[in-house]
Structure 1
Amino acid sequence: MKKIFVLDTNVLLHDPNAIFAFEENDVIIPAVVLEEIDSKKRNADEIGRNARGVSRSLDALRTIGHLHDGVQLETGGTLRVELNHRSFARVQEMFGEITNDNRILAVALNYKLEEEEKHSDRSVILVSKDVLVRVKADVLGVQTEDYLSDRAAEPNEMYTGYTTIKVHPSVIDDFYNHRYLSVQALQLQQGYSFYPNEFVILKDEMGSAKSALLKVNADANRLEPLFLSNEPVWGIAARNAQQRMALELLLNDDIPLVTITGKAGTGKTLLALAASLSKVEDEQKYKKLLIARPVVPMGKDIGYLPGEKDEKLRPWMQPIYDNLEYLFDTKKAGDIDKILMGMGSIQVEALTYIRGRSIPGQFIIIDEAQNLSRHEVKTIVSRVGEGSKIVLVGDPDQIDHPYLDSISNGLTHVVEHFKQEGISGHITLEKGERSKLAQLAADLL
């Protein structure tokens, strides 16, 4: 049986195509949602872009028929802008104040009561990304859901970039003797599907200390030894297996897209910077290093800080400068600026200034990529020109964007959608190496 979905404003501002995501069911947009979207359409950021996208979609549907009467969607459902379910009496008994959120709740509640009066079995579901709106809906007895259709994967199913497999010790011996293993043979034995450039840790099922670290090749048909030794890169040596995997991806010129996720203090940005400096300064494989991070929310003006663009950017870019100061072992304040000015091959930018550019022959690092939406990350990755390598770094559990979460952000989407591609590689760093205090803070707080 068809359901009735009442959409909150934040759903449409998060995904302007959400109108068409409910298949053959009926979609209701409260009138107050249109007012809120109208107030956002002039914003110069992602929210403003999405508000304008919703407006265009509704205008196109308006040519089919009157929105307040309901128009047929290609999905088989209908879309209706509500005008006749504004009674606030029942919601006011619970929450009193007439806010936009409460007006949306009132619409959902009134539809629910109307279906009950008709003795209908149709479900009325309020869809919102606002946790408190969902809580209040539950108090009112209205069924509610988060908007999940844009999620890349369930939290416990996220691709980590490596797997640990227990095997008979003879399998490990075969690898060391022949320097490779057949993916097909291991799949038949383990029933596991491997992705290109995925790392595999083999452990002895008998309990001995015998083990091996391998990497699936780009064609996903062989497991091979790591290409690099565990030598330091720009003074940075891998302190655990996952960091070694990260350096393997970062220093491989045949993998132009690398994603690295992990908690604070796991070394994501430092490893990426060390590898990039090795490639740009030592090997001169790339002509320039471009380091950028979003000014959250991305697309906003940098603000009213005094000075020129570089002076305004400095507070936002300071975490990157901190890592560069560590790598260059600077002693005095301002030394890193002199070094970067003298080198000329390192550019630190805000993502605001990357849009519209084509970036060939460069090593690109995007820090704090978890604060990018799907559209933004597509815009950035599509800027990458011939001969460039791009590294997306971030912690999906530290989201500053109001309409993103650990599953729906742009970084997570890149990880999940590129895991089957031979030109990309991913690794999740798990062990904090900044300090014991930092690791405890990441785990306990």
Structure 2
Amino acid sequence: MLHKNYVLDTNVLLENPKSIRAFRNGTENTIILPYTVLEELDKLKRDQRLAHLVSQAVGEIEADVNLDILPPFRTGAAGSGDDSILQEIRHSNIVDPILVTNDRILQIKARMYGIHCESYRDSLPFQSESQAYTGFVGAGVEPIFNSFRWEEGFPVFYGHNGQKRVDYQHQAWGVRPRSVYQNLALELFLHPQIPLISVQSEAGYGKTYLALASALDLVLKTKDNPYRKIYLSKPLIEIGSKMGFLPGDVEEKMAPYIRYIHDLLAKLHELRPANRIFTEQNKEALELNPKRFEILPLTYIRGMNLEGAVVIVDEMQNLSRTEARSLLTRMGEGVKCFCLGDTRQVDNPYLNESNNGLNWLVKKCKGMRGYAHIVLKGEHSRGPVTDMVLQSGL
């Protein structure tokens, strides 16, 4: 095979921090980084949205002892980062360098200097822990507690009592799963020996709906159960322009953020009456009975001790690690907690795909006896518009 000298641009390392290994192809090729790339990574490490990618890239650079770094080349005139990279390549002794970049302007400039360019085609999008660990383990891999594995076309659950094939369909408060993954989510939600469950999925796969149906089932369906109440908590992150201060008491301030919860509960109430979680049935708008169902603002969670309840934490990807810890350490005896979210949809400007409450939960609790995680996927979602958006990758 022909030996090649690859010079990697910053955007390649951010696309896939492990690209250094891929381009090296064992010991076949030489990988070179311009000094300017290190400077750009140093600046980007302060960007909350990119810091986790920069950290991984730096880790790969540190681990590669054979990596070549081009010395900086400075001229009297100040130039752009692109110009600096090109000057560092031109004034090096690299034989037939190949600059790998997805920056089309840099590609044009490089061709002016006679430097060969390639785009990075094998992009590997970053996956957070909560995306990468789907709740399934592969064939030949030792199962961890509360994980699934496909065997002969069926999901097999590995739990406290050994393994069992899940060839039956659950039902929670009149809700039947629309996919095998929704059925497995109900398997975890309703499991008596798993008090902490997290669910990751894109929009429209029924995380919140299934969690609410399971909570109603656990709290209202049988008299002899440890759960007396449902709590729901979520971070209050606005999308788009800020609405400013909202008038009214706590419930009135929370109302715009939890309207979808009322809509889902009303839908479940139509499937099967859930009278005990509402105050008066003859009102046009159903009001929640705080003795049975309470919206829990994170602001007031400190010092509380939740017992005998099902707790739903929605949009957990918008909680920081500290906030997630503060919330989860409020869980006392007889609590079952559902943590829901999508780490690809982080709205908190101070968090990113890696550094958020949901991802930290999966990273730290994976494999523990009382914890389980699953990623929902499949063809069914909220509706045809949502399906098209997800399929298009918008």
- Whether TM exceeds 0.5 here: the answer is yes
| Structure 1 Cα separation of the partners of residues 105 and 45 of structure 2 | 16
Q: Quick check: 2:381–2:387 contact (8 Å CA) kept in 1?
A: yes
C-alpha separation in 1, matches of 2:182 and 2:143: 20
Match of 2:296, SS state, is strand
Report the CA distance between 1:441 and its aligned residue: 2.5
Does the alignment pair 1:408 with 2:358?
Answer: no
The answer as to 2:129 corresponding to 1:160 is no
Determine the structure 2 residue equivalent to 1:353.
300
Contact 2:189-2:211 at 8 Å conserved across structures: yes
1:247 is displaced (CA, Å) by 0.5
From 209, 218, 225, give the equivalent of 2:165: 225
Q: Which residue of 1 aligns with 2:341?
A: 394
Q: Secondary structure at the match of 2:182?
A: helix
- Report deviation, 1:7: 4.9
Equivalent residue, structure 2, for 1:191: 140
The residue identity in structure 2 corresponding to 1:214 is V
> Is the partner of 1:413 in helix, strand or coil?
helix
Cα deviation for residue 422 of structure 1 reads 1.3
1:294–1:352 Cα contact (<8 Å) kept: no
Aligned to 1:53: none
Spell out, residue by residue over 1:12-48, the C-alpha distance to the aligned partner (whole angstroms, 9 max, x if none).
Answer: 8998xx99x989x99xxxxxxxxxxxxxxxxxxxxxx
AA matched with 1:318: R
SS of alignment partner, residue 272 of structure 1: helix
Query: Per the alignment, do residues 194 and 361 of structure 1 end up closer, same or farther by CA in structure 2, a change over 3 Å counting?
Result: same
Helix, strand or coil at the partner of 1:347:
strand
Residue 332 to residue 407, structure 1, CA distance change in 2 (3 Å) = farther
Q: Which has the higher contact order (CA 8 A, sep 6+)?
A: 2
Q: Which digits, 9 at most, give the CA deviation of each residue in 1:380-407, with x for residues without a partner?
A: 2122112211111112222212233333
Please, which runs of 5 or more residues in structure 2 have no aligned partner? 1-34, 63-75, 93-102, 111-125, 274-280
Is the partner of 2:381 in helix, strand or coil?
Answer: coil
1:41-440 → structure 2 map (5 Å cutoff):
90=78, 153=128, 158-163=132-137, 190-203=139-152, 211-218=153-160, 222-226=162-166, 229-283=168-222, 284-296=225-237, 303-329=244-270, 334-337=284-287, 340-341=288-289, 344-431=291-378, 432-440=380-388
8 Å CA contact 1:152, 1:413 repeated in 2:
no
Show structure 1 runs of 4+ deviating over 6 A.
2-5, 12-15, 134-141, 330-333
Q: 1:382 to 1:11 in 2, by over 3 A?
A: farther
**Unaligned ranges ≥5, structure 1:** 27-87, 95-104, 120-133, 142-150, 166-189, 204-210
Give 2:317's aligned amino acid. Answer: Q
Q: Distance in 1 between matches of 2:352 and 2:325?
A: 17
Q: 1:285 to 1:14 in 2, by over 3 A?
A: farther
Q: Is the 8 A contact 2:316 2:340 kept in 1?
A: yes
Q: Which amino acid aligns with 1:223?
A: Q
- Give the superposition deviation at 1:137: 12
> Quick one: which amino acid aligns to residue 328 of structure 1?
H
Q: Deviations over 1:237-261 (max 9, x none)?
A: 1111111110011011211110011
Structure 1 stretch displaced more, 430-439 or 264-273 = 430-439
3-state SS, counterpart of residue 416 of structure 1: helix
Whether the 8 Å CA contact 1:152–1:408 is kept in 2: the answer is no
Contact 2:181 / 2:377 at 8 angstroms: preserved in 1?
A: yes
Amino acid across the alignment from 2:386 = A
- Please identify, of 318-327 and 407-416, the stretch whose mean Cα deviation from structure 2 is larger: 407-416
For residues 225 and 364 of structure 1, the distance between their equivalents in structure 2, rounded to whole angstroms, comes to: 28
Identity of aligned residues (%): 29
Q: TM-score, normalised by structure 2?
A: 0.63
User: Counterpart of 2:199 in 1: which secondary structure?
Assistant: strand
Tell me which amino acid in the other structure corresponds to 1:323. Answer: L
Q: For residues 364 and 14 of structure 1, do their structure 2 counterparts lie closer, same or farther at Cα, with a shift above 3 Å needed?
A: farther
CA 1:263–1:8: 2 relative to 1, 3 Å: closer
Residue 81 of structure 1: aligned partner: none
Q: Distance in 2 between matches of 1:137 and 1:364?
A: 52
User: Number of paired residues?
Assistant: 307
Deviation at 1:333, TM superposition (A): 7.9
